[in-house]
Amino acid sequence: MESVEVVVLGAGVMGAATAWRLAGRGREVALIERFRIGHHQGSSHGPTRVFRYSYADPLHVRMARRVLPMWRELEDEAGQSLLDLCGGIDIGPRAALEPLARALGEGGAQIDWVERVADRFPGVRTDGPALFSPHTGAIAAAASVRAMVRLAAERNVRVVEETPARIERADDSGVMLDVGGERLSACRCVLAVGAWTGELATSHVPWIPLGVTREQIVYVEQRADFPVVIDRSTAPCFRYAIPQRFGAPGVRAGQHGTGPGVLPDEPRRDDQATVSRVIDFIAESIPAAGTEPAALETCLYTNTPDHDFVLDQVGPLVVASPCSGHGFKFAPLVGEICAQLALGEDPEMDLSRFSLTRFQPATMMPPHRRA
């Protein structure tokens, strides 16, 4: 029987970040992925994601400010560029932007109102004001996952791909797993499996009311550069556009949180109605981009009822579901927190807001949420 100090289930961005941070401590770790590293079935694939400070919640602003130097640390260790702070603007009614400005101020971040958007950013069209942030940009999503996994493997983390795992036992003595038909024991297990959290956590942790949706991404030609755009006029299902970076096939655009409820293993299907809505947004707001789809992509959102994270520990299990479609930017910080929990260290931030105890059966997530 093989044993390790910590086993991390899931090699998407959260599991990869956890393995990277544990490896930096010289710990004995196994990173297990049911698919291939970089697969397209989950939530961490694709060329880019948004990095931003612009939240209406001061805690998220503070977390984003805290994680930025950790992204730079990853870049230094990996020897490659993984984050381009090209700047970004939030557009929409002033009433929708004012909570962002307040939270940015409370979180110690810069506030920059732009009244004549077209004069400053000719690649963007809007009738109202905008909030500009120099700390918004594009993360090299898939490349970041690969970099974290590579750095972990170079520090003797055992990486196992295309191998399903099942938790057989989790108690005071540790964790016993079936990994592709072989037994693996560990002192601690980090569950970072995204949409498959409910499946693997069943009977081992309190009930987690997670819902899974499939979100549609559209790529269109970029004709001129422009900042990241987040359109708050349709909040909470805001629309966004990320300029072409890190090998993307064009501008990445979508409408946050409007996808149908799915099971995680369902085949991928493009949603043509959403494609049309996203193209309408591009035509209306991003003259720097074309209006013909260059490529389509889907990803899974794993949603909690309050659309906030789960970061908690139940016995030897660390449950990491920093999700609901906006967690990627926080991955290095989440990885550090999961590493601390797995090693019995006191996390450097208060995790009570992300506790499993906040959920009650009456708060079950509906199959999906519509705008």
Tell me the one-letter amino acid at 309: F
pLDDT of amino acid 202: 81
58's enclosing H/E stretch is helix 58-78
pLDDT of amino acid 368: 33
| 344: number of Cβ within 10 Å | 9
Gyration radius of the chain over CA positions: 20
What residue spans define the domains of the chain?
A: 2-44+143-210+305-363, 86-137+212-302
Reported as a single tens digit per residue, the pLDDT across 220-232 is 999 999 999 999 9
Decide if pLDDT at 301 tops 50. Answer: yes
pLDDT of amino acid 345: 96
Residue 209 or residue 14, greater confidence: 14
3-state secondary structure of 248: coil
Q: Which fold has domain 86-137+212-302?
A: D-Amino Acid Oxidase; Chain A, domain 2 (3.30.9)
pLDDT of amino acid 114: 97
Reported as a single tens digit per residue, the pLDDT across 262-292 is 999 999 999 999 999 999 999 999 999 999 9
pLDDT of amino acid 360: 66
Decide if pLDDT at 364 tops 70. Answer: no
**How many Å apart are CA 71 and CA 57, to the nearest integer?**
21
pLDDT of amino acid 361: 59
What would the mean pLDDT of 318-340 be, rounded to a whole number?
96
Reported as a single tens digit per residue, the pLDDT across 202-251 is 889 888 899 999 999 999 999 999 999 999 998 888 999 999 999 999 99
Reported as a single tens digit per residue, the pLDDT across 114-144 is 999 999 999 999 999 999 999 999 999 999 9
DSSP β-bridge partners for residue 275? none
pLDDT band with cut points at 50, 70 and 90 for residue 333:
very high
**How many Å apart are CA 8 and CA 316, to the nearest integer?**
12
pLDDT band with cut points at 50, 70 and 90 for residue 201:
confident
| 133: number of Cβ within 10 Å | 26
Contact call for residues 56 and 99 (beta carbons, < 8 A)? yes
What would the mean pLDDT of 73-86 be, rounded to a whole number?
98
Tell me the one-letter amino acid at 344: G
pLDDT of amino acid 235: 81
E strand segments, the chain:
2-9, 29-32, 48-51, 83-84, 88-91, 112-114, 130-133, 137-140, 158-160, 165-171, 174-179, 182-191, 211-222, 228-231, 239-242, 251-255, 289-303, 310-314, 317-321
Q: What average pLDDT does the chain have?
A: 94
What is the percent of the chain where pLDDT is above 90? 90
Please state which architecture CATH assigns to domain 2-44+143-210+305-363: 3-Layer(bba) Sandwich (3.50)
What would the mean pLDDT of 44-73 be, rounded to a whole number?
97
239's enclosing H/E stretch is strand 239-242
| Pick from 251, 276, 368, 317: nearest CA to 9 | 317
pLDDT of amino acid 318: 97
Least-confidence region, from 37-41, 323-327, 351-355 = 323-327
> Which string of DSSP letters, residue by residue, matches 254-301?
EETT-PPB--TTSPP---HHHHHHHHHHHHHH-TTEEEEEEEEEEEEE
61's enclosing H/E stretch is helix 58-78
Contact call for residues 7 and 30 (beta carbons, < 8 A)? yes
Reported as a single tens digit per residue, the pLDDT across 145-180 is 999 999 999 999 999 999 999 999 999 999 999 999
Contact call for residues 165 and 178 (beta carbons, < 8 A)? yes
| 106: number of Cβ within 10 Å | 13
pLDDT of amino acid 365: 39
pLDDT of amino acid 362: 46
**How many Å apart are CA 81 and CA 143, to the nearest integer?**
9
pLDDT of amino acid 370: 26
Decide if pLDDT at 323 tops 90. Answer: no
